[in-house]
Structure 1
């Protein structure tokens, strides 16, 4: 999972790369050349330490899956996958709750850099970062 401080460094790095590559408004795209080097610090801090195994303790538990793309920064992104389509009962976690409460993913936009030839392209990728309980859709809602 991307940590918030890593995301901040990634955003700052993307802005620096975009400025360095002349992606600012008004630049003639035909004359652009990409030959910048991107350096990202390996030192990160986490503001989410202490949450432990929240993905297992949740009433809407999830597992982590990862995808790795060689020419992407970050190259590996961890994504949540809901363990069930229904939430657990808070009174008896081993029993599924009434089928009126569903487990759904929570999405976050993550800034990524894609490297092609000698250029980096910044874009956002939608990533599931956890799961939560919501009332099931009915004919009324």
Structure 2
């Protein structure tokens, strides 16, 4: 089968344009980053109303911060249970050994900057957001 002269000429032109356009054949092109996100760092009225809930809890915790430079949010606050046991509801510094203090976890959405670009990838990070009391595990005999 013989191709017409004009089709052959067109194929030669297209081939030469393709090879002259660069040698990045097979290299993946970076995704377009054309979405603008706006973030607010304001504290919600719900969290302000809780006051020092981490200290008033029967399963108190303290906050520990972790910062990552190219991540949004750049600082995550994680709860650390103060004790393995819960405080007794009776006034005084007693502990209830039948109740254990355990962390409560939540998946937090974070954006991580792609190295060398202004693009971000979304992922989840499991973070302790507080502590609660649970019945201690017993060893059945």
Tell whether the structures are fold-level matches, with TM greater than 0.5.
yes
Which residue of the partner structure matches residue 22 of structure 2? none
Deviation per CA, 1:76-101: give whole Å up to 9, x if none. Answer: 0001000000001101341111x211
* TM-score, with length taken from structure 1: 0.70
| Gaps in structure 1 of 5+ consecutive residues | 1-28
Within-5 A mapping of 1:59-78:
59-78=58-77
Alpha-carbon separation, structure 1, partners of 2:37 and 2:132: 36
Alpha-carbon separation, structure 1, partners of 2:92 and 2:78: 24
Query: Is 1:124 paired with 2:130?
Result: no
Within-5 A mapping of 1:4-83:
30-36=28-34, 38-42=36-40, 44=42, 46=44, 47-83=46-82
- Rg bigger for which structure? 2
Which segment is superposed worse, 56-65 or 112-121? 112-121
* TM-score, with length taken from structure 2: 0.70
Residue 48 (structure 1) shift: 2.4
Residue 39 (structure 1) shift: 4.2
Question: How many equivalent pairs are there?
Answer: 111
| Gaps in structure 2 of 5+ consecutive residues | 1-26
Which residue of the partner structure matches residue 7 of structure 2? none
- Of structures 1 and 2, the one with the larger relative CO (CA 8 A, separation 6+) is 1
Which residue of the partner structure matches residue 135 of structure 2? 135
